[in-house]
Structure 1
Amino acid sequence: MADYSQQKIRKVYINLLKNLKEVEIDFSGSSLTALIGINGSGKSTILHALACCYKPINENRTYNYKFSQFFTPTVDSLWQGSRFTMYHDYRIGSRVHEDSETTFSKNADRWSPKYDRRVARDVFYIGINTGVPKIEEEKRQSFIRYSTTLLDDATSRVIKEKAGYIMNRDYSSYNLHSDSKGKYIGVEYNQAKYSSLSMSAGEQRIFKILSAVYNAPKNSLILIDEIDLLLHVFALKKLVEILYHRAEDKKLQIVFTTHSINILNYNEFINIRHLYNTSDKTICLTDTKPDTIYRMTGESTRPIDLFVEDDLAFTIVNQITESLNMSRYVNVTRYGAAQNCFTTAAGMMLSNKLTSECLFILDGDMYVSDEDKIDRVNSALTGSAQKSSEMRNKLVNHITQFNLPDGFAPEFFIHSLLKELTITHQIVETAKEIQKVDNTHKYVDDIIERMNYQSKEVGLSKIIDVASQNEKWEHYIYPIKNWLKALRNDLSEEIPNEPVFQST
């Protein structure tokens, strides 16, 4: 066997695989990737496909997963026409392969390429069957007599400590029980010994996951379906933290699925990939917010939908709608990373939910030119047919941005507006005290911290109220305010007209 190392999946492009169509999933960034989405969005399918992309380095150590295990042919489903491409790095001896392409497909009876032509890598798949309590798998009802071996090697001691941290239990021992018909793990806690036959399903699964992660060789791929299964929110948080640090230390790549919205709280060290299926294709959003998919699939009780990047833009847009007396007509949704603007808009268009009352708003520091926007729209809406071209042209018209000066980040611009004001106000004085920060977001965050506001939401609202007194404010918000004013008279005759600000 050749000396394989440094294996890493960069991204996967799926042409067709079960219900996944024309979607790219990017795994760059963190060593942990979370796949989220509603039931049936294809999360588990991605794990199943990844499990089959490699051959084992050592078949005595890891299982040799094959497509027939997860994509078993039936009378209804032969899986012919399935096709996806993996872009990955690996090293054989001294030779490094970067961004190599391997396409997997099934056009006839067999999948290609042949299994022995796959790159070698240790793969560990932990399915939802590991959430079944061990006692429910045990068929015997008579007395079970097993022998006990203390697991006291270095790795087992770490697993015991980490499991204890997650479960908030000070385990005094970690054991292996064996009899003629099987093996069971066991622990001792609070002077009581018990095997996995007596463990809760969640406790049992934690040991299963930790055992795979801490016994996995360097550069392994670990796939976990429904990582939050049977775990309460605090245990999940601790487990994810442990997985991240172990993955970083051992160069592991861990991909898991989850239905837990709480996972979005950890997007600083996890790749969040949000899947959503339309009738034409699958959309993959990055670092999205909890309400984005709801807005793509749910019904709105307000006629106007505005989509923004983050909390700052959310606050600014709300200030605009309040100034126009339109708040009761407008729903504002955060979509997260700037690139999500285009994929979310495309998803809504393909779902026939992109109405004339929808506007996507960029901060103004990325994808500023029409050419940049068109490039991103072309990536989000593929196809060469006339219909696709018309849809792309329509989509561009639903995207705008704040009039942010060149070279400015939004937070820095707000900070500069405050510093220019000559009024006497604590926020203005605090802004003038802040001369330099190590991250542009901190120009606003530092003001909130120094002012000791009870929440970020309150702080942002007060800061924007003051910044809006700068004479440059109207030019900054003009594209959004002007768009809203064009709709205003159709909504209510009670809303008074205002002088139209002319953009410079």
Structure 2
Amino acid sequence: MNEQVLEMKIQNVKGIKQLDFGFPLQSGIYAITGENGSGKSTLISCASSVFYQMPMIEFFGRPEDAAINFELNGATRSWVCDGKTWSSSSKGSMRINGFYEGSIVFGNRFKDTNISVINKLDKLKENDLLPAREFIYKNLGQILKNDEDFYKELFLVKKESAKKMGLTRKTFCLKKGKNQFISQPRMSTGENLLLSILQSLEYIFKKRTHHNDGRPCIVFLDEIELALHSSALRRLVIFLKEIAEKLGLAIFFSTHSIDLLREIKAQNIYYISSFLDDSIMVTNPCYPAYATRNLYGDDGYGNDMVILVEDDLAKLIIERLLLEKQLANNIRIKVLPTGGWTNTITMAYDVTTSNLLQKGTKLAIVLDRDIKERVPEFISTHKQYSGIKMDFLPIASLEKYLHFKLIDNKDKKLFNILDTYLFQKRPLYEILKQYTKEVEVNDNDGKTLYGFLINEVKSMRKDREDLVDIVVKYIIENEEECVDELSKYIVNKANM
């Protein structure tokens, strides 16, 4: 088994015109890295189709003359698209196990997140639940909080209750008080990510302990750093190193993370380069210093300024603000989402104390405005962060802003703009009427409403940027005081 290699050939899938890649199946952790747009995530998602029955059209569209071919020990498996449908074929027995955890868009952690299921989960009582097993809650706590007992009050929905609700996977709830539970769909992205990974690893552990059929097992994880801050990521890597050796797993990361790359030996790092003619070059072995030089010298910490924000929506707001207010003239600015406001502050501290920024690069921190009143208390109990200066978005968050303007305190001007220029397939009032009817619990953070709006946008073959562009332009025109305050903060940071 130690000499086995899973051979893959990709043809005309997304931005990859032609690529041959061999995945070694020896136990250990591996990294696939490269600049944005080089094809890392496409490579990982293509590879996972060797065992993961994914909806191919959702992942890859309907390209003409596209193919993904695998070969292992003489057995073959293929996916082919003729421009309309994907079809699969195989020859021999492809003896391989594994699992895939996708990026923010795809992945197991986003199953069972429709509104009706979430409403049912919000009504669960303790007699619907069982205590989570130690493997899950202890490793979750150790990785995320450096405390094995932090998630000791984690529970699993009983099979009979899950069946009644139509759940398709095991679902957890975190007890926060007497008969008060936070269901898994309402947990953070990082918590959902780790729960999904730990469940899959626990299943593999049981299978390999009680009935090991000798099949190689390969795990694909796509850009997990988007959900985890640096300290949690380091603890996850340590955990996965140990379990890879223990269970004989080959774990592949698609990553930009310096922290992750530094933990992997050069022989296990694959650097992907794409060229103007869509050809792909794979560099292996690749030493971490070389990979990080390319990643962060031209596209990341090698900019004139790095702005840390909480999430991808905040990133879109800042980028639009930079463009609309012309704040990025003659200066290279990189906006990086880090996941949660405490993670953003922690990341800022790690970046400055570890000297990750190149000389001359300025660092700015922009948090969602809704936590502005909570920051001083947090800083007072974490003295090491007292020197970190920050500012806030002009709004609480995009989701909360939309909820406030469309539900709580209807803004006719914004409503008319969205209804006229974006929601042309179905009137906005119908979408809001459906939302009001189906949502049975408080949607204080606005995430459920945002999900409704994005689903409608996607049904028109548009994407969230179309919604964000309109809303951010409206914010810039109508929240002038806060916008000017943030603009001055960014300009002052750049000129320090």
TM-score range (shorter-chain normalised) is 0.3 to 0.5
Please give the TM-score of this superposition, normalised by the length of structure 2.
0.46
TM-score for both structures, normalised by structure 1: 0.45
Q: Highest Rg: 1 or 2? A: 1
